[in-house]
Amino acid sequence: MAKRGRVEIDRELCKGCFLCIRACPVKVLEADTELNASGSHPSKPVNPEKCIACGNCYEVCPDICIKIFELEGAA
């Protein structure tokens, strides 16, 4: 059974570079259609149930606005 995870993105810190979207192997993230306070379209999780807690999005984020949590009981 694959690992399961949860991704959180601080939409106000996100500048919308979308490196995380490109880094996600299971297509959890997409660009938000709503602007944040700085006028950027931040990334957002649109398929959170697909997250495998690989950490790729966290690793490529230049703004450190992503947190990854491995869900309990996931193997």
Does the pLDDT of residue 1 top 70, yes or no?
A: no
Does the pLDDT of residue 60 top 60, yes or no?
A: yes
Residue-wise pLDDT tens digits, 6-41: 999 999 999 999 999 999 999 999 999 999 999 999
CA 57 to chain centre: 6
- How far apart (Å, rounded) are the C-alpha atoms in residues 65 and 72? 23
- pLDDT score at 46: 97
- pLDDT score at 16: 97
First to last CA, the chain: 6
- pLDDT score at 72: 80
The domains found in the chain, sorted by start residue, are 5-70 (3.30.70.20)
